Each structure stands twice: as C-alpha cells, then as structure tokens.
Amino acid sequence: MYDYLGSYIAGSWVPSAGDPLAVTSPASLETIGHVSVATRDDVDAAVRAARAALADEKWASTTPVERGALIGRLADALEKRAADFGNLVSAEVGSPRKWATMGQIGTALGVLRTYEKLTGEHTFEETRRSMLGGEVVVRQLPVGVVGAIVPWNAPLFTALLKLAPALAAGCTVVLKPSPEAPLTVCKLTELFDEIGLPPGVVNIVPGDVATGEALVANPGVDKISFTGSTAAGKRIGAACAADVRRVSLELGGKSAAILLDDLDLDRRTVTGIVNGVMGNAGQICVAQTRILAPRSRYDEVVTALAEATDALVLGDPADPATQIGPVISEDARDRVRRHVREAAEAGARVATAVGDEPGPGWYLRPVVLADVTNDMAVARQEIFGPVAVVIGYDTVEEAVAVANDSDYGLAGAVWSGDRERAYEVAAQLRVGSVSVNAASPMDLGSPFGGFKQSGIGREGGPEAISAFLEPQTIIR
C-alpha cells in the first residue's frame, strides 16, 4: 500500500484537512494507495513555500551548471529505483510492466538526462550592441512560481517534462498530479532529500478538479503549465488570460498516419503502426488513431492491421507476456465502447475479432474500424482508447487534406519506402511533430506541442527552458 497523506510543502508531508482519496488499480480494481485531496489552504501554503524558496539564496544563487547537476542527481536516484517506480506506475495506470519500465520510466529518465546536459548549455545572459552604438545586456530570468498540472496516462514522464526545464530555468514549482494516478508523482518526493533539493523548490498538492482550480486561481502563481484535455485547457487558458498570466497548454490530439502507396507492409512496419495507436491501451495524446491508406491497397492495409491488432496479448499488466492492459476506469471503458458502437451505426465496419475480455479490470479488446470517413465522430473526436480508424484516399494531396482536416494539430506520421518522399509529405502537415516511419513523433531534445486546439507553447528541448524564462533588456 502506498499512502501519501497530506501535501508535500517545503520539504515535508504536511497534514491536510482534505478528504482521503483511494487510488484503485484499473487491472485488479483493488485499492493500492491513498492520497489526501489538497484544499485551497493547502494550495495557498504550497504557493507561499514556492515563493519563499524562489527568493531564498540557496536556490536563487544557483548557477545553470549547478542546476543541471541537481537534475542529473535526480536522474541517478531515479535510475537506481527504476524498477520500483515502473511497478508502481504499472499498478496505478495499468500499463504492462515492460511498457511501464521502458515507455514510462525510461522516457522520464530521458527527460532528466536531456536537461542535465541542456541546462549548462543554455544562454541565460548575452551582450549585444545597441542600435545607437551602446551596449545592451539581455538577461533571461525565471518566470517565477510555476503551477504544473499533469495527467494520469504518463504521470511521471509528464511531470518531469515540466519539472526539469522549470528547475533548469531557476523556477520553483507547485505540482498537481491527477486523482487517478497520483502515487508515482508523490513517490518522487522520496528522492528529493537524497539529491539535496532545497525545501520549497518543488511542492506537491494531490487532489481533484477543485485542487487544480485553486492552483490556477492563486495569484502567487506566475505561470500555469497544463497537460490534459482540450476542454480543460480552454478553461485554464481563459482563467489565466483574465490576469494576463503566462500559460502553456499541451492538449488533445487526433493524429493521422499517412501510409504512402510504396510502403512495404512487412511485420516490423505493421507492428510499428499498430504500436503507434495501441500503446498504453491507446491512452496517449500522440496516438496515430487515424490511419490513411491508399484505396488501391485499402483492403490489404485493413487486413494487416486487424491481424496484428488481434495478435496483441490483452491481460494482467504484471504478466510479462501482456502487451496491452486495461483502460484507466469504467467511465473510460464505457466511453470507448460507445464510440465504437456509434461508429458502427454510422457505417463503419469492425475489422478486428470480437471476443471475451479478461476481468475484473477495465479491459477492452483493441479495435480497428474500416470504412470510416473523416466526417464521422470517431474520426474527429479524441477517443483516448485502443481504437484505430482506417480512412481511404486516392491521391497524396487528398491524404494531406484529410490529415489536416481536424480541430487538432498535435502530431502525425508518414510511412513510406522512400524517406525523402515521406519528408516532403510530412512538411505539409499542420501539426507540431511528425515522425517518418516511426510510431513516436517525439524527440526529447526537440520542441513538442500542438497547432490549433492541441495547445499553446512547447515542451522538450532548449525551447522548454525558454518557456520558463522572461527576457529582460538592460541598456547601458
């Protein structure tokens, strides 16, 4: 049992008047831990601690090299306990153990190693010649206290994707994990004393929607960094706009994978395409859920994807053979089932096999839907579950138009036997990141974020450090 009762404020767990919240495994439906729902008073205390730490010389006087070394020590500490963290994220999210270790903890470590290096390389001050012949100093200052709100699907990875560049910039942070999967983020506090993190630099307030709203509304927070649904992001953006506060939003997606007509549908390629949709039970913002196939090869593509999807092993995340675990909750399972049912009623065809699902958890057999058009709800709404839709096209121009015909613009992919041709097509997509012949459109050393309703701002790479800095110009 993992119990983190209270809020982590100024270096210790402080009791809270908030109600206890049970955290349930989506696989076993058993309670695996508890947190407290942080109250507005808890959030206020956490923000005060962050503001005090921001002004304290122990943190304010650190150099970029020192902050990079601190991030490196956090990576070292996490690496030593990677198996423990992997098992916990598997238990609370339902990710298969192998995927949790590599796709969750492995990427989290990658974030830390990236900013261990980038922090010392970043330019925080430069001198320029002024237009009048004098000297101008441009300084990059920490934006201040950051309120970071992270989702449940990759809790540690998304937390560190905000935390590492914020620390690199010299900010302090109040971090709110999701109510569905707060334990892995809370466990991170066990490493803070070990690495010498000054008290108050990172504070954690577990809780629900009201906790997040209290954090967004707190006037002591200089910037909100949010990852989650587009609907929630719009509300947060509006709240920040009212006070002209900084905000970055990494929101939903409905990514398209364009399969060009010269693609060799060998086993490795088909596996990559399927993994790009079904990884983490489809609960990934960059999931390539719209697969665009040339009509001349449409049936071949549908058959290959359906067979590979049917071959995925659905089951207990703790079983090494499992490739796909449950979705996060009963509501999520019901929502995905409703989308599939309504798509079938609208004319889509279920190409995958229908069979029993294991219990007692929130398991769903992954689905490939054929005969889908881009105007169907299943092709336009983010489902966040193990569902792929296959849409046919006649020309590459049509494929690009269909891919871009979305309210979202987070990511995409192009698959082809000719990488240069694939690049030319990728460059026409109105999305933040595109992969060529790969399932993941994300590189930790490069900016990641969305066009249109997929968000504002970027995470990843040196650009993420800049996102937590305010330029100041001194003319002398």
CATH code of residue 368: 3.40.309.10
Q: Which residues pair with 388 in a beta bridge?
A: 368
- Confidence at residue 441, expressed as pLDDT on a 0 to 100 scale: 80
pLDDT of residue 238: 98
The pLDDT, as a whole number, for residue 330 is 98
CB of 433 within 8 A of CB of 267?
no
Judge if 203 and 304 occupy the same domain: no
* pLDDT confidence of residue 99: 87
Residue in 325, 321, 322 with CA at minimum distance from that of residue 333:
325
Q: Give residue 125's Cα distance to chain centre.
A: 31
What residues are annotated to the active site? 250
Pairing of strands 125-129, 135-142: antiparallel
Whether 302 maps to a domain, the answer reads yes
Assigned domain for 442 exists: no
Amino acid at 5: L
Residue 289 tokens read as: 């859920």
| pTM for the model | 0.96
Same domain, 28 and 157: yes
Per-residue pLDDT, averaged over 128-152, amounts to 96
What CATH number should be reported for the domain holding residue 461?
A: 3.40.605.10
Same domain (yes/no): 195, 223:
yes
277 pLDDT higher than 90: yes
pLDDT band at residue 466, thresholds of 50, 70 and 90?
Answer: very high
Q: Are residues 146 and 263 in the same domain?
A: no
Q: Answer whether residue 214 is part of any domain.
A: yes
**Region 446-459: what's the mean pLDDT?**
98
**pLDDT on residue 398:** 99
Specify which residues 24 forms β-bridges with: 31
**Number of residues in the chain:** 476
In a domain, 443, yes or no: no
Same domain? 315 vs 430: yes
Sorting pLDDT into bands at 50, 70 and 90, what band is 440? confident
pLDDT value of residue 116: 99
Residue range 83-99: average pLDDT? Answer: 96
Residues 298 and 385 in one domain: yes
More confident residue, 354 or 396: 396
Contact 37, 211 (CB under 8 A): yes
Question: Per the domain annotation, does 447 fall within a domain?
Answer: no
Residue 166 has pLDDT above 90, yes or no: yes
Could you tell me if residue 261 is inside a domain?
Answer: yes
Type of residue at 355: G
Residues whose CB is less than 8 angstroms from the CB of residue 338 and which lie 6 or more positions away in sequence, other chains included: none
User: What average pLDDT does range 393-408 have in this prediction?
Assistant: 99
Whether residues 222 and 315 fall in one domain:
no
Indicate whether 229 and 291 sit together in one domain.
no
User: CB–CB of 365/314 below 8 Å?
Assistant: yes
By residue range, what is the domain housing residue 77? 2-251+454-475
- What average pLDDT does this structure show over 28-43? 98
Specify the DSSP element, H or E, that contains 388: strand 387-393
Q: Are residues 243 and 289 in the same domain?
A: no
Q: Is residue 411 part of a domain?
A: yes
In terms of domains, do 247 and 260 share one?
Answer: no
**Is there a single domain that holds both residue 137 and residue 80?**
yes
Q: Which two tokens stand for residue 178?
A: 């999701």
Output the six-digit token pair for 400: 């690009």
Closest CA to 467 of 177, 239, 246, 202: 246
Q: What is the mean pLDDT of residues 381-394?
A: 98
CB-count burial class (<10 Å; 0-12, 13-18, 19+) for 209: exposed
User: Alpha helices of 81-208 — where are they, by DSSP H?
Assistant: 82-93, 97-99, 107-121, 155-169, 183-187, 192-195
State the helix-helix crossing angle for 64-80 and 107-121, rounded to 10 degrees. Answer: 160
Q: How many domains does the chain have?
A: 2
Max CA distance (Å), the chain: 76
Beta bridge partners of 127: 137
* Rounded mean pLDDT, 308-312: 98
* pLDDT of res. 374: 98
Question: What is the arithmetic mean of pLDDT over 286-292?
Answer: 98
In a domain, 60, yes or no: yes
**What pLDDT, on a 0 to 100 scale, did the predictor assign at position 449?**
97
Residue 363 corresponds to which tokens in the numbers above? Answer: 């398991």
Q: Are residues 431 and 468 in the same domain?
A: no
Nearest to 181 by CA among 291, 32, 364: 32
- What is the C-alpha separation between 99 and 37, in angstroms, rounded? 29
Chain mean pLDDT for the chain: 97
